[in-house]
Amino acid sequence: MSEPKILIVDDEEASRYGMARALKNYDITEAASVEAARQIAAKSRPDLILLDNNLPGASGMDYLQELSANEDAPPVVMITAHGSERTAIAAIKAGAYDYLAKPFEVDELRLVVKNALEASGLRRENERLRAELKAARGVGDLLGASDAMRRIYDLINKVAATDVTVLIRGESGTGKELVARAIHERSAHRRDGAFIAMNCAALPSELIESELFGHERGAFTGAAGQRKGKFESASGGTIFLDEIGDMSLNTQAKLLRVLEERKVERLGGSHSIPIDVRVISATNRDLAAAVAEEKFRADLYYRLRVVQIDLPALRDRREDISMLAENFLQTYAKRYQLKCSEIGAEAMKRLVAYDWPGNVRELRNAIERSAVLADGKTLRPDDLPEEIGSAQASLKSASTFQRSSQTGAGEAADVLSIPYLADFREARREFERAYIERVLAETGGNVTRAAERVGMHRQSLQQKLKDLGLTRRYVLNDEAQDSDDE
């Protein structure tokens, strides 16, 4: 990565020289006037401008006002003459990030610069996310720019052009219903027809059947009038059978017949009605396993999954989290007129680190709640729901192994999916900790056997445990067990 760029605007050469020397770790350019500064800023987009107020020609304050009117402008630190507090206050009011009164200490300069650059970095990051967001708008209401989501958009576009029957699989909250709607909306020949959704888990069998197929008067006790079923209503459009895995075997048999014959018969009716619908079904269950257990009909399963769309869990496409979070925040900030309008870097790290068992729905709800309750403009870790706000912290203190075994995720993937940590050494420590804890969990906490397993000397492993702060948990435990073994 390149160094942050700082533009120093000051007409006194000695003063520019002094500042440039104090800030030699940055990429410095210098300008002796506002005119020169404008030209440089337009070309090189500095991350920060150090602006002297007393300049020949246009003053620093003039330039500051110009910059403040421009949303893309970098933050400005105003440099004022000794004893001119009023100018300093005016500069802050006009939008300067901070000010420095001459003469200032080198350390003071460095600190102000560091803080201003951090603020600028956050702003840039948010700009980047917003730009990414525009690019990441997928199909329909779906968002996400990960490869996994792009493959889903492709599939949606392909199946939309046809009438093929689609089965959508994915954990709760991964967007199955959004995908179904997107397919419907992209089907030129069906989008003017109805999209009718039916939750097959919510009702007892007879009711589901009467909902799906309709009934004639007196078909069963309580069937007062005649009723059109959802298959009929969806004619020309799409029927979405949600949670299909929960359907009873009896209803499955009837559904299969409808799909094969492309006709429905209302309950208690005597003639069949032709239907013209696309069928999309969804489930968060493992239907193949249900088939093996004879809880789901194999013939129906194959009929439903002519094309299968598998939606990835959010934790398997973490690269989409920041953009989704930002999008939800913007939505709710606007809807509720909230003060909170950006996600701080630390809070974002926790969001990315968290495992999201409830997937995108959980993320959306977490952002809504946090944004409504947050006090400041920037969302902080403390604003997040407890389990999320501590996502990173728990990773540091507790064992990744335990976290992963609770969520039931694949073990090998877990050690490698340590949420990104900016610092390499930190990431390596997290890896070592997760790795060693896993091996220790497998050996029941026995350090001697764990050392053998990973090809280390017992003493080295013990030293490692000490370094990683894991001694209290394992060493004592181990000594007792080792003496049993030996």
Binding site for Mg ion (CB under 5 A): 177
Give 8 or 142: the residue with its C-beta nearer to Mg ion: 142
User: What distance in Å separates the CA atoms of residue 172 and residue 170, rounded to the nearest whole number?
Assistant: 7
Minimum separation from the CB atom of position 374 to ligand ATP (A): 20
Considering the rule CB under 6 A, would residue 319 count as an interface residue with ligand ATP? Answer: no
Pairing mode of beta strands 227-228, 214-215: antiparallel
Rg (CA), the chain: 31
Considering the rule CB under 6 A, would residue 173 count as an interface residue with ligand ATP? Answer: yes
Which residues, including other chains, have CB under 8 Å from residue 111's CB and lie 6 or more apart? none
Instruction: Identify which range of 74-82, 172-180, 217-225, 269-277 contacts ligand ATP by CB under 6 A.
Output: 172-180
Cα-based distances in Å from 8 to 25, 58, 83, 114, 136:
14, 15, 21, 15, 37
* Beta-bridge partners for 240: 197, 280
357 preceded by cis ω (within 30°)? no
Binding mask 16-35 for ligand ATP (x = CB under 6 A): --------------------
The residues in 354-373 that bind ligand ATP, with binding defined as CB under 6 A, are 360-361, 364
Minimum separation from the CB atom of position 386 to ligand ATP (A): 21
Instruction: Identify which range of 53-61, 174-182, 255-263, 375-383 contacts ligand ATP by CB under 6 A.
Output: 174-182
Number of residues forming the site for ligand ATP (CB under 6 A): 16
Considering the rule CB under 6 A, would residue 237 count as an interface residue with ligand ATP? Answer: no
Would you put residue 57 in left (φ > 0), alpha (ψ -120 to 50) or beta? Answer: left
Q: Which of 29, 80, 126, 174 binds ligand ATP (CB under 6 A)?
A: 174
Q: Which of 62, 132, 177, 411 binds ligand ATP (CB under 6 A)?
A: 177
Considering the rule CB under 6 A, would residue 312 count as an interface residue with ligand ATP? Answer: no
Minimum separation from the CB atom of position 273 to ligand ATP (A): 29
Give 283 or 404: the residue with its C-beta nearer to Mg ion: 283
Contact 449, 478 (CB under 8 A): no
Dihedral sign from CA coordinates of 177, 178, 182, 183: negative
Considering the rule CB under 6 A, would residue 287 count as an interface residue with ligand ATP? Answer: no
Give 63 or 240: the residue with its C-beta nearer to Mg ion: 240
Considering the rule CB under 6 A, would residue 4 count as an interface residue with ligand ATP? Answer: no
Give 117 or 244: the residue with its C-beta nearer to Mg ion: 244
* Beta-bridge partners for 196: 239
Q: Find, among 222, 281, 217, 211, the residue nearest to 246 by Cα.
A: 281
Terminal alpha carbon distance of the chain = 54
Minimum separation from the CB atom of position 364 to ligand ATP (A): 5
What is the side-by-side strand order in the sheet with 5-9? 27-31, 5-9, 48-52, 76-80, 98-101
User: What distance in Å separates the CA atoms of residue 215 and residue 219, rounded to the nearest whole number?
Assistant: 6
Considering the rule CB under 6 A, would residue 285 count as an interface residue with ligand ATP? Answer: no
Residues that bind ligand ATP (CB under 6 A): 141-144, 170, 172-178, 284, 360-361, 364
